[in-house]
Structure 1
């Protein structure tokens, strides 16, 4: 899907420079000389990026566009100013913009600045606000890019057992603290065990993934589970810890007893199976996670299937 760019300039030469620089990219570019007309289109279509020639514009016109950033609906819309070569950093303070390019560097830097801006926004949108780990879009891209490169790696899919009953009894605030704790545990242990080439993502809720070398992921997972299962006890009231369970309501609205929360992890790897698409690998890890949840003790399961074999788990 092409990204929409609106370029606003009263200078035809600058418009031509923009066109020449970006024309071979997958962008849908519209050009305007009138700021008010451009503003109408921006409000209707909400483009991905706006390029504004500030050299040939009045201050009042610039602020018409600049003030859009105060509206949350435009928060992810990128605004880049084209400025004079003598532009100074002091001029930056009153502008809610994402980047600027000096006119003398327009041809050389425009394409790079636009691409970097899009990448930055994608990372921001894809980051989970609770844990600051990358989210689902980046996770999918990471898995697919490794498969496309032919890299051999293992994918772990982790989530919590009995998290919803805990939330229902103790509240979302305490539940959020557990999710943040789990994110920190996974990050610290994975990076300690494999400092380079690892990946950690937060799908959402209590679902996390991490990528490691196949030979390291099992021992790392055992350590993650052990540390989490020890630390999570600190979030329960003493009375419930003594009982070893909490009383809460199940999905049918009935009172039920739920054990102390644990962590389950499913692991798969293209060392044993061939995967062409990230969804195939994610599904295999999810299947193993379901196997792990049925295991009362180890709480993790490894997919050792070859393409024609049945699942074997530890």
Structure 2
């Protein structure tokens, strides 16, 4: 059976006081390329978890001292381990037992004796799901830095000509200081919607939209789509953003808060700056180079008044 990529580095911790069962599971997962560690009781399990957080935990229900349900609750209530997938292992077949495991915070439940192929499939499924969840921004649901990096690397490897749009809000920090992070989050979600909408309407089928973090976004499209996407985003942003301000601030055209030197300062309503990096006229060999060029172009864009988009036209 073909192995799924990236399982070689996945760390699995098996917690079971049945040493024969431990050997069976360890042998099965080792053969599939997983890195496997084991523990037979609560203390050894917690020591290993906190020494090196596993990517997934297989947890038996019947254990000395604390049972699997209690351990599962502890792990779910600890910020260091709350994100780790947990599959409960047990010989109990009653529905009530399965419900108890799921209510304790388990992600899945496998009854002994089990088919090793099913066990491997479930482990892979939860590892894949956990990786996907970590790869998406929780606020906007857009792909985050891991997937952004992979997408740029893939475009470079394919040798395709593309344009990367880096979007950044101007005066967003001042807005957050005055209106609070909840209102700031609404602005972030609005920008995510705006970017997604315009790339879908004016871009290509395979175009990419991602959320770097905070008020920084990215899109990857073709050279011929850049102008229409940017112009449409700027037009819709400028015509809508004032609605996120109070009537008084809209009327004045600015907000008042303190700057980095603690001086009371007037900040204009938010605008949007878009920096475009392309390999149309220059050779780009890494995602790091894309980021470096984008940082330069964003600085240039933010030096201009109002919402703008700027292109890197250099050929080297």
2:293 is equivalent to residue 287 of structure 1: no
SS of aligned partner of 1:23: helix
Q: Residue 44 of structure 2 corresponds to which residue in structure 1?
A: 37
Structure 2 distance, partners of 1:179, 1:130, is 8
Pick from 231, 237, 245: which aligns with 2:240?
231
* Superposed displacement of residue 290, structure 1: 1.9
Pick from 163, 178, 181: which aligns with 2:190?
181
Structure 2 distance, partners of 1:20, 1:149, is 39
Pick from 250, 263, 283: which aligns with 1:254?
263
Q: Residue 5 of structure 2 corresponds to which residue in structure 1?
A: none
Structure 1 unaligned residues grouped into runs of 5+: 309-314
Q: Residue 68 of structure 2 corresponds to which residue in structure 1?
A: 62
Give 1:1-314 correspondences, 5 Å limit. 2-11=9-18, 14-23=21-30, 27-53=34-60, 61-68=67-74, 69-82=76-89, 91-95=97-101, 96-101=105-110, 106-194=115-203, 196-296=205-305, 299-306=308-315, 308=316
**How many equivalent pairs are there?**
305
1:169-194 Cα shifts (integer Å, max 9, x gaps): 33333222211211111122212333
Structure 1 distance, partners of 2:235, 2:115, is 55
1:42-75 Cα shifts (integer Å, max 9, x gaps): 3554322211355x76896222432232333321
What RMSD, in angstroms, separates the aligned Cα atoms of the two structures? 3.0
Structure 1 distance, partners of 2:124, 2:107, is 13
Structure 2 distance, partners of 1:115, 1:274, is 38
- Is 2:238–2:271's contact at 8 Å kept on the other side of the alignment? yes
Structure 1 distance, partners of 2:280, 2:96, is 55
1:9-64 Cα shifts (integer Å, max 9, x gaps): 3555543443343325664321234455334433554322211355x768962224
TM-score by length of 2: 0.82
SS of aligned partner of 1:93: helix
Structure 1 distance, partners of 2:31, 2:160, is 31
1:202-224 Cα shifts (integer Å, max 9, x gaps): 22221111122232132112111
SS of aligned partner of 2:256: strand
- Is 1:39–1:64's contact at 8 Å kept on the other side of the alignment? no
Structure 2 unaligned residues grouped into runs of 5+: 1-7
- Is 1:293–1:300's contact at 8 Å kept on the other side of the alignment? no
Higher alpha-carbon deviation: 87-96 or 127-136: 87-96
Judged with a 3 Å threshold, the aligned counterparts in structure 2 of structure 1 residues 114 and 269 are, in CA distance, closer, same or farther, namely farther
Structure 2 distance, partners of 1:92, 1:195, is 46
Higher alpha-carbon deviation: 261-270 or 293-302: 293-302
Higher alpha-carbon deviation: 34-43 or 258-267: 34-43
Structure 1 distance, partners of 2:222, 2:48, is 49
1:111-165 Cα shifts (integer Å, max 9, x gaps): 4433332232233234333222232233222222332333433211101111122
Higher alpha-carbon deviation: 178-187 or 107-116: 107-116
